[in-house]
Amino acid sequence: MGSYGSKPVKGSGWYLPWVIPALFCFFWWAVSATGLVPAYLLPPPRDIVEAGYAYLLGTPEGGPYAGRFVRDAAASLWRVFCGFSLAVAVGLPLGILSGRLWVVERLTGTTVNAFRAVPGITWLPLALVWFGIGMKATLFLVALAAFFPVFLNAAAGARQVNPLFLQAGAMMGVKRLRGTFAILLPGAMPHIMTGLRLGLGISWAYLVLGELTGVPDGLGAVIMDARMLGRIDMIVVGIIVIAVMGRITDKLLQGGLRLCFKSARRMP
């Protein structure tokens, strides 16, 4: 038996990630079968499967939501990509500078932490006034929400890198730019990866908030429209699709970081 914290044997425990979903599905089925919760509040799993199949693989003639998945997924993915990319482009370098330069930290610390305390939904009316309904408002909400975890974790990661490592690199002739990529970023990578993953997850949450305002397509738009029509099955399908796509994009983000940075490959 391995000690606490030891790495698992390759191939062992492959079933563990599926234990909680399986238990949840069993509990859901049991509640539906016994009638403890009315079907109009929580449809049985079979209805969700049928609605999901029509949404993903159906044809437009099959109903109001049939065959819409590709269009809605493409619209939502593009909004998440643009908003998250903007947050990373601003938050990552600014966070690293804040973690290494006290002037930048003093300049940005109070403002960032003050705005971070403002609930995200508070920005929605202002976004609608500034940008109207559509891509721009959603982009603003996603970028704003993802900025804070990216910035704060990048700053924390850069701050905890031992200055002696950078000084040793400079004594060996490593220029500042090269030292940033060879010493600073690898040392801060655990925090950076955490911030990027948190930011991406929050991007999906605020994507739905932006799409609930009345955009014609997108996963959030489907959920809002289904609520208006009383289609609880489609609301659940939308939630499941967002959860699956969020998990897939998270894995793609981790894979991309490991592909680009050797320091990320050493992380579990």
Express each pLDDT in 128-156 by its tens digit: 888 888 888 889 999 999 999 999 999 99
What pLDDT shows up at residue 3? Answer: 47
Q: Using the 8-state DSSP alphabet, how is residue 36 labeled?
A: S
Sequence ranges of the domains in the chain: 90-265
Q: Residue 215 region, left (φ>0) first, then alpha (ψ -120 to 50), else beta?
A: beta
pLDDT exceeds 80 at position 184:
no
Q: By the 8 A CB rule, do 207 and 199 touch?
A: no
What average pLDDT does range 120-130 have in this prediction?
86
Return the percentage of the chain with pLDDT > 70, whole number. Answer: 85
Position 11 confidence tier, pLDDT thresholds 50, 70, 90:
low
DSSP per position, 97-155: HHHH-HHHHHHHHHHHHHHHTS-GGGHHHHHHHHH-SSHHHHHHHHHHHHHHHHHHHHH
E strand or H helix at 64: none
pLDDT mean across residues, the chain: 84
pTM comes to 0.84
What pLDDT shows up at residue 1? Answer: 42
pLDDT exceeds 90 at position 212:
no
64-73, 89-98, 143-152, 258-267: range with lowest mean pLDDT: 258-267
What pLDDT shows up at residue 211? Answer: 85
pLDDT exceeds 70 at position 91:
yes
pLDDT exceeds 60 at position 64:
yes
At what angle are helices 232-260 and 185-211 packed, to 10 degrees?
160
Q: Using CA atoms, how far apart are residues 99 and 135, in angstroms rounded to an integer?
A: 33
CATH architecture of 90-265: Orthogonal Bundle (1.10)
What pLDDT shows up at residue 261? Answer: 73
What pLDDT shows up at residue 32? Answer: 84
Q: Between 196 and 188, where is the model more confident? A: 196
What pLDDT shows up at residue 136? Answer: 87
Q: Using the 8-state DSSP alphabet, how is residue 231 labeled?
A: -
What pLDDT shows up at residue 2? Answer: 47
